[in-house]
Amino acid sequence: MSTTLRKLEVASPVPADIDIANSVEPFHISDIARELGLGPSHYDLYGKHKAKVLLSVLDELQGSGDGYYVVVGGITPTPLGEGKSTTTVGLCQALGAFLDKKVITCVRQPSQGPTFGIKGGAAGGGYSQVIPMDEFNLHLTGDIHAITAANNLLAAAIDTRIFHESIQSDKALFNRLCPPNKEGKRRFSNVMLRRLKNIGISKDRPEDLTPEEVKKFARLDIDPSSITWRRVMDVNDRFLRKITVGQGSEEKGMTRETGFDISVASEIMAVLALTTSLADMRERLGKMVIGNSKAGDPVTADDLGVGGALTVLMKDAINPTLMQTLEGTPVLVHAGPFANIAHGNSSIVADKIALKLVGSGGFVVTEAGFGADIGTEKFFNIKCRYSGLTPQCAVIVATIRALKMHGGGPEVVAGKPLDPAYVTENVGLVEAGCMNMARHISNTKAYGVNVVVAVNMFSTDTEAELNAVKTAAMAAGAFDAVICTHHAHGGKGAVDLGIAVQKACESVTQPLNFLYPLDISIKEKIEAIARSYGAAGVEYSEQAEKQIELYSRQGFLGLPICMAKTQYSFSHNAAAKGAPSGFILPIRDVRASIGAGFIYPLVGTMSTMPGLPTRPCFYDIDLDTSTGRVVGLS
C-alpha cells in the first residue's frame, strides 16, 4: 500500500476549490516519485512540490509492460464546463486510493488565458484536484513561457530576414551569413548545412558555391502575404488579433499586417505534445513551415537558421512535470494545446512514461479537451497515430445541466445565474438532450474502445433524471454508465466509475480503428470528420481551396487533420445544440502545422486569440500578504 495516500476530510457544502487546495499540505514530490520507483537521478526538483521527470526514464523502462490506457472526453459542454478534469482526477483518486491500483493522471498544463479570463483554472475541482492548485494554474515549471519565447524568436527571425534581404545584394547577404573567422576562413553552421541539403546543394565549404548557388542559399525570398506564423502571448487579448508591425523609422517602411495568437495555439506547443524524443523534437521544430517563397516553395525554421536555437529554448520543457492529487496519487502535467484551436491533448512522452511506470495492470488516465467530437477525435486520429499507443477505454463525462441545454433548455451564460429549468426536475428535457450524448458514444465506440459514461452529479440532480441518463447511455451502446460524486467526496465518489473502467479495459476485444486513412486527399479527410459531426457536406472558401491546392502540391497530403471548430456544438454554429444534422460545414481557411504533423482547417469564424469578458476571473484573484497564499483562483 502506498505511503503517500491521504484520507480526505470532506465538508458539506463543498468549499471553494482554492480553499480545499490550501487546506491540504502536499507531500514532498520526492515521496511521490519514490512510490513510482523513481530516484533522484530520474528527475529535477522545481521546489518542494514539483519535479521534471527526465526522458531517460523511458529508456530505462523500455522493456517493461504497459498499463491500461484510458482517455476522458465529454459531451458537448456548456460555457461552464462539465467537469472533465475533475472526473479525470476523481477517477484516478478512486483507482489509487480506494481500489489499490497503480495509477497516473496525465493532464495538460493550463493556459493563463482562461485562468484569468472566463473559465478559470484546470486543476479539477472540489475534492478532486491537482495540487498545489495555484502553482498548477499559474507558471508551473515555465513550459508555456519557453514556448512563447521560442515562438516569438522565430517570428522575429522572419521579419528580420525579410528586412535584411531587401537592403542587401546576394554577395553582401552571403558574406554576413557566413562571415570569416579570425583566421579568415568561412564555415557553414550545422543548421546552414541542413538548408544546403534541403535545396539540393551538396557542398560544405562557402567558397565552393557558385554565384547561382550563393543566391539560392542566401535568399529565402519570403512572400510576406504567405506568412502564417504569428506572435503569441499567454493572455486573452482581443486587441492583438490584428496588428501592424514595422512602423518604426529604422524599419524603412517595411510594414505588414499580422497578429497574435494565444501561446497554447502555437505550433511549438503542438510539437511539444506530439514529439517522442529530444531528437524528434529537433526535427519537428526545424521542419515548421512559416510561409512560402515567392516561387511557392515552403520556408522552414531551419531555412531561417533558427531550428537549433528553438530546441535549446525547449530542452527543459520536453520533460513532464510530476505533481500529485489531493489524495496523494501521482500526476504528470505536460503540454497544453487547446482542443478547439489545436489538438487538445497532453503529451505523448508523458503518457509513454506513465504507462511504463504503472506497468501491467496499472492505469494511465489522460484527458482530451472539450467534447469528444473535438478532443477525443484528435486523441485517436492524431495523438494515437504518432504515439502508436492503443487505449482500451474512453470515458464520456455528462451532466444533467448540459443535457438539459441540449434538450432545448434556456441559454447557459458564464457569470449569470442558471435558469430555474436547470435546478428543478425535468426528465423530458434531459431525455431530449441525450441525443447529444448518444452521438458522442456512437462516434467514440467506432474507434474500437469500450465507452463508459460518467454522470458528474450536481446537488440539484434528481434520481429520475440520473436514471434517464443511464438508460439512454446504455441504449446508445455504452459499456456502462455510472453516477459520480467525486467533486463532493473525492475518490470515494468515483469508486463505481473506477470499477466500471477496470472492467471495460479488461474486456476490450476490438483493434484500434481510425476515422480515416492518411492516404486519401485533404478534402476527403475533412469530409470524413464533418460526417462524424452530422454534416451533409462541406463548403470551402476561395482561400481554403487555394491552401488545399498549395499543400497538396507541396507534398503534405499524408498528414492527419486537426479541425479548429467551436466547442459548443457538433456544427460550426455554437447555438446549434443537441445533435444537429444535414448542415453544410464552412471551411474558412486551411493552414498547416508541418512540424507538429497535421493540417488544420478553420471552421467558420474560429479565433486563435480569445478575448476577455466584461468581468474576467482576475477580479477575484489576489494574494493574502500575511500568509503569501493565493486567493480567488477557481
Q: Along the chain (634 residues), what's the average pLDDT of each consecutive run of 10 residues? A: 81 92 95 97 97 96 95 95 95 97 96 83 90 93 97 98 95 94 91 95 95 96 96 95 92 89 95 97 98 95 98 98 98 91 93 98 96 96 97 98 97 89 96 98 98 97 98 98 98 98 95 97 98 98 96 95 95 96 96 95 87 89 91 84
- 3-state SS, 530-581, equals HHHHCCCEEEECHHHHHHHHHHHHCCCCCCCECCECCCCCCCCCCCCCCCCC
Tell me which residue has cell 506572435.
Answer: 231
- The per-residue pLDDT for 183 is 87
Using CA atoms of 190, 150, 382, 361 in order, give the dihedral in degrees to the nearest 10. Answer: 100
Q: Which of 388, 365, 393 is nearest to 449 (CA)?
A: 393
Alpha-carbon distance of 521 to 144, in angstroms, equals 34
Let me know the angle formed at the C-alpha of 97 by 93 and 99, rounded to the nearest 5 degrees. Answer: 100
Let me know the angle formed at the C-alpha of 608 by 606 and 614, rounded to the nearest 5 degrees. Answer: 85
Alpha-carbon distance of 467 to 318, in angstroms, equals 44
- Intra-chain end-to-end CA distance of the chain, in Å: 32
- The per-residue pLDDT for 633 is 85
3-class secondary structure, 106 = strand
What are φ and ψ of residue 358, in 5° steps?
-80, -30
- 3-state SS, 288-308, equals CEEEEECCCCEEECCCCCCHH
User: For residue 301, how far is the Cα from the chain centroid?
Assistant: 22
Alpha-carbon distance of 534 to 166, in angstroms, equals 50
- The per-residue pLDDT for 123 is 83
Q: Which of 299, 439, 329, 390 is nearest to 92 (CA)?
A: 329
- 3-state SS, 460-521, equals CCCHHHHHHHHHHHHHCCCCEEEEECHHHHHHHHHHHHHHHHHHHHHCCCCCCCCCCCCCCC
